[in-house]
Amino acid sequence: MLKFLVFQDGQSATHWPLRNAYLVGADGNAVRADITFADGQIECSKREAGAVAFALQHAVRDLGELTLQTCLLPERDEPYNLAIELARHRLMTLYTKLEDWAMFDLEEDHPVTKRSQRARALFIEALCAQRDDPSGAAELAYQCLDASLDGSEELALAHSELLLNRRRITGSLPKAPIGCGVHLTQTDDRLRGAIGMNFDFVQAPCPWKLLSPEEGEYKWQALDLWAEWSRRQRTPLVVGPLVSFDPSNLPDWIYIWEHDYDTVRDLIYEHVERVVTRYRTFVEAWNVVSGLHVNSHFTFNFEQLMDLTRMTTMLVRKVQPAAKLIVEIRQPFGEYYATNQRSIPPMMYADLLAQSGIAFDAFSIRLPMGQARPGQYTRDLMQVSNLIDQFAHFSKPLFITLGVPSEPVTQMMLTADENGRPADANSGFWRRPWSGVVQGHWLEAVFQIAMSKPFVEGVAWQEFADHPQIDLPLSGLVNEALQPKEALRRLIGFRKHLTMNGDNEDTIAGETVADVSDPT
């Protein structure tokens, strides 16, 4: 068992919310455990041997409320000081990345140098004080955590700026780097005009639930309109996921066979064949399967999940040989594996796919943040950078889909989970509570980090416009009144800087989407 002392206002804490709390093993996968708080201590009773790290959502003063973790820790009778262990891991991350990226020669007045030196001094003080004054040591450790977290984010941005400039100078940037997602029912000409002018590709969903609400009957009109529009505009179209077990994708009638794998497999085969055959002349890339590794709604085993992935990719390749096939990873930090042993850890799933001989062309990771849902708790910039780097060794291109809200997602916007438990509106935030300004700064920073990676082929914003059915409330770049948010302005500026194309110089001068879509 692991125990952690926690303090509030210099005293042993009487209350401590355990949001997004889980353990991480030496292999990077989540570990099953019972985590409780009582009498000023967090107790983690794990179900397997070995050293583990403890992760949870934690407030970091001026830097936000983020999911952080400790280093790998062995079990011991004496409790650890949580603040010291969180600071230790972040300080270690900062120095490790300085070494990995060969950036130890930064100037003395560089923000990373100043913060790393301050963090190291504070950590030494905290270690010296932890036995005689644990609450005072915790306060010093929190100051260290502030400095090292701030320094690691500054480092991630500084490194990404160097790599992005290198990609631009060497001409190695992709031809269509920036995209956005759309909702099929939003067909306003002003929205489409803004999208066509300011994005390089479009992601269109094809939810089975919408296409075939009744078994054997299809309604193609909504997707037809976007397919025809993309052809007229000559905007590359990415459609999918073709297969996803998320409730928003599956029609109600398929749950009759949720325990009958063979029948579900046959239904999926027929559905995918119909969709790809109809749109093969319109679609450049298919999001073939998405989130099958999470496996939180069906009871299929490991072999069946891999079989579905293989079958779907082979079928799409047969119907449209020239299409690019993408496999999407959801909840890429893998917290779900701590509570669902029928699932597959995200990096294990990616590794198995890369080694299995399945004929797909690229990975995609979907990374929404800012909603208290599995996989959507807020992370810092260095964690995002490290996550992307994990995909480098697969030798496949990577696409990334991002999204955060422009306002805090409140309790009123959420529904109970599948077990009927009320939703928790607190999913953390980055730097300041979510707002239009924070959304814009986060977008600009993460797009820069993502596009700096030499294997990243495209980055897309999850949905262009807010609407009542949006997966992540308030995360659009345009609100429901069709007014652009600060994030859209920053994204257009980033794209112009990325491509060195001045043609869109005045596209954000107005106050409505109509103005964005028509610079005149």
Residue with structure tokens 């800012």?
Answer: 370
- The span from the CA of 351 to the CA of 393, in Å, is 9
Residue 419 banded pLDDT, cuts 50, 70, 90: very low
Whether residues 299 and 202 fall in one domain = yes
Phi-psi map region of 216: left, alpha, beta (phi>0 left; psi -120 to 50 alpha): left
Residue with structure tokens 């001068």?
Answer: 509
Q: Residue 421's pLDDT is what?
A: 47
Q: What is the mean pLDDT of residues 331-358?
A: 90
Least confident of 165-179, 241-255, 403-417: 403-417
Number of domains in the chain: 2
Q: What is the mean pLDDT of residues 308-328?
A: 95
Q: Has residue 443 been placed in a domain?
A: yes
Residue-range definition of the domain harbouring residue 286? 174-517
Q: Among 133, 162, 191, identify where a domain stops.
A: 162
Residue 423 banded pLDDT, cuts 50, 70, 90: low
Q: Over the stretch 150-199, which tens digit does the pLDDT of each residue have?
A: 999 999 999 999 999 999 999 999 999 999 999 998 888 889 999 999 99
Whether residues 473 and 402 fall in one domain = yes
Phi-psi map region of 240: left, alpha, beta (phi>0 left; psi -120 to 50 alpha): left
Whether residues 366 and 496 fall in one domain = yes
Q: What is the mean pLDDT of residues 263-271?
A: 94
Residue 73, SS3 per DSSP = strand
Query: Going by DSSP bridges, is the β-strand pair 41-46/33-38 parallel, antiparallel, or unpaired?
Result: antiparallel
Residue 440 and residue 337 in contact, taking contact as beta carbons nearer than 8 Å: no
Residue 290, SS3 per DSSP = strand
Q: Has residue 169 been placed in a domain?
A: no
**pLDDT beyond 70 at 418:** no
Whether residues 235 and 141 fall in one domain = no
Whether residues 390 and 299 fall in one domain = yes
Q: Read off φ and ψ for residue 452, nearest 5 degrees.
A: -75, -20
Residue 195 and residue 461 in contact, taking contact as beta carbons nearer than 8 Å: no
Which of these, 406, 441, 409, 201, lies nearest to 324 by C-alpha position?
A: 201
Q: Has residue 424 been placed in a domain?
A: yes
- The span from the CA of 454 to the CA of 104, in Å, is 22
Q: Has residue 122 been placed in a domain?
A: yes
CA 471 to chain centre: 13
Residue 209 and residue 252 in contact, taking contact as beta carbons nearer than 8 Å: yes
CA-to-CA separations, 97 to 83, 154, 499, in angstroms, rounded: 21, 12, 28
**pLDDT beyond 50 at 513:** no
Q: Has residue 119 been placed in a domain?
A: yes
Q: Has residue 168 been placed in a domain?
A: no
Residue 23, SS3 per DSSP = strand
For the CA atoms of 87, 91, 96, 102, what is the dihedral angle to 10 degrees? 160
Residue 51, token pair as written in the block: 């050293």
The domain that contains 499 carries what CATH number?
A: 3.20.20.80
**pLDDT beyond 50 at 507:** no
Residues in the chain: 520
Q: Has residue 456 been placed in a domain?
A: yes
